[in-house]
Amino acid sequence: MQPALAIETDDCRVLWFFDTLVQVRVSEADGHDAISVLEHRAPYGDSPPAHIHRDEDEVFHILAGKVRFQLGGQQLELGKGDTIIAPRGIPHTYRVDSKDGGHFLTVTCNRSFERFVRAIGRPAVREEMPAPSGAPTPEQLKIVTDVAGKHGIEFVGPPLT
């Protein structure tokens, strides 16, 4: 994990966000409704900590691969063409279960998630996945948790294993 926390990269459209490649397809700044459409490419096994969005719902649409979601107490396996909503206030996470990785869109409408991605992400040097960064140090985890909290996101549990 190599968060680049010093710079908000508002003009950057391709970011390395932890071990994923994120392309900002529609930025919250592009229109008047604060809609964000982010395209993610994630490696096999990618799984963020279980978390809650306090400010916005999060819609996931799977473009390729198999992605297992935990939404509240329910687990669902999604594949190409499937869509799921993680309503605000409901704990959720996912895990990419396909060996070739996962490819999906996230859609939000309230600025918070996109701004978190920009705060933690770093401009991609190449339009490809970043090198795996490994588990965060306790210091990095504290920084990420604090930045998440500033963007209406609360970590509430571990990643899926």
Higher pLDDT, 105 or 2: 105
- Position 5 scores a pLDDT of 35
Given this model, what pLDDT does residue 1 score?
41
Sheet holding 14-17, edge to edge: 83-86, 58-64, 102-109, 35-42, 20-26, 14-17, 122-123
Q: Is the pLDDT of residue 9 over 50?
A: no
pLDDT digits (tens, 9 = 90+) for 66-94: 999 999 999 999 999 999 999 999 999 99
CATH architecture of 14-157: Sandwich (2.60)
Q: What is the pLDDT of residues 95-121, one digit of tens each?
A: 999 999 999 999 999 999 999 999 999
pLDDT at 33 exceeding the cut of 80: yes
- Measured CA to CA, the distance from residue 17 to residue 23 in angstroms comes to 10
pLDDT at residue 10 in the model: 55
How many CA atoms lie within 13 Å of 153's alpha carbon, on the beta-carbon side? 28
Q: Helices in the chain by DSSP H: which ranges? A: 112-120, 138-150
Residue 98 neighbours by CB under 8 Å, 6+ apart: 44, 64, 65, 66, 67
With a pLDDT cut of 70, the percent of the chain lying above it is 93
Give domain limits for the chain: 14-157
